[in-house]
Amino acid sequence: MDVELFIPCFIDQLYPETAWNCIKLLEKAGCKVHYNPKQTCCGQPSFNSGYWDTTRKMAKKFINDFDKNLPIVSPSGSCTGFVKNHYPKLFEEKENSFHKDAQLLTDHIFEITDFLVNHLKFTNFGAEFKHKVTYHDSCSALREYGIKEEPRLLLSKVKGLELIEMEESETCCGFGGTFSAKFDGIASAMTEQKVEHALNTKAEYIISTESSCLMNIEGYINKNNKAIKTIHIVDILANFK
């Protein structure tokens, strides 16, 4: 199966190894991966800040950058959830010629764990990760895109991995995109609570599908010298020979 790969900004700039691991997973699952190096941000930050005209320009480029007849797979429920749920709204009143393309795109873009589990039916990569871990449900991945069991199913197939659920795994980590910049005090307190819940499990790693959440949590961990690490689920699943 031919697929397009969409790599979000945070992964492109800060976690490029995760992008390469996406390709590794998709190829292992039998896909031929196509990557357009001209792709850029999906526009979610500007949309959430109220700059819809700017977002429309970015959305037009995004729509034109991908083959809308192929599955578009991404290691982010947040970005894919935004495209699926909000792109058609951007063109309802303006630039209606893009509305059809936007709607077509929403039917073909997938978060990677959803795509692997529900579309490819591929759940066991033969990965090995001999550590205790806990899982953070990203707000956008859980509530906007709608994944919860898919990441856990994939983790259950990893040799040596012990998943210990933390208290309030579905509670926000405090990032929330521009929220953490506008409300630093509240966001920091939420991140502290998330990390403390994770530490209470005695896990060695916090896992998520979202690099933005992990970046936020990792920043708090490093600043406060907490004895736990973060890792994207893709990087665990790709730990096979």
Interatomic CA distance for residues 4 and 64, integer angstroms: 13
Measured between its terminal Cα atoms, the distance across the chain in Å is 22
- Asked whether 180 and 49 are in contact (CB, 8 A), the reply is no
HSE-up (13 A, CA, CB side) for residue 35:
14
Inter-helix orientation angle 99-106/77-90, to 10°: 150
Backbone angles phi, psi at 9, to 5 degrees: -55, -50
- The residue among 238, 241, 239 whose CA lies nearest residue 21 is 238
Burial 154-192 (b: 16+ CB within 10 A, else e): bbeebeebbbeebeebeebbbbbbebbeeeeeebbebbe
Asked if the model's pLDDT at residue 93 lies above 70, the reply is no
Q: Residues 138, 77: contact at Cβ < 8 Å? A: yes
**Domain boundary assignment for the chain:** 2-119, 132-237
Query: What distance in Å separates the CA atoms of residue 159 and residue 189, rounded to the nearest whole number?
Result: 35
Tens-digit pLDDT profile for residues 138-193: 999 999 999 999 999 999 999 999 999 999 999 998 887 677 667 677 888 999 99
Residue appearing with tokens 């990087």: 235
pLDDT at 176: 73
Burial of 225 by CB count in 10 Å (0-12 exposed, 13-18 middle, 19+ buried)?
A: exposed
Q: What is the 3-state secondary structure (H, E, C) of 156-206?
A: HCCECCEECCCCCCCCCCCCCCCHHHHCHHHHHHHHHHHHHHHHHCCCCEE
Residue 240 has pLDDT above 90, yes or no: yes
**CA 137 to chain centroid:** 10
Q: Which stretch of DSSP H or E encloses residue 99? A: helix 99-106
CATH code of domain 132-237: 3.40.50.11810
Task: Give pLDDT tens digits for 100-118.
Answer: 889 888 889 999 999 999 9
Q: What is the mean pLDDT of residues 192-207?
A: 97
C-alpha distances out from residue 47 to 22, 86, 136, 177, 222, Å? 26, 9, 25, 11, 30
CA-based torsion, 140, 175, 88, 31: positive or negative: negative
- What is the distance between the alpha carbons of residues 148 and 233, in angstroms, rounded to a whole number? 13
pLDDT at 181: 66
Q: Tell whether the model's pLDDT for residue 92 goes beyond 70.
A: yes
In degrees, rounded to 5, the angle at the alpha carbon of residue 92 between the alpha carbons of residues 85 and 177 is: 40
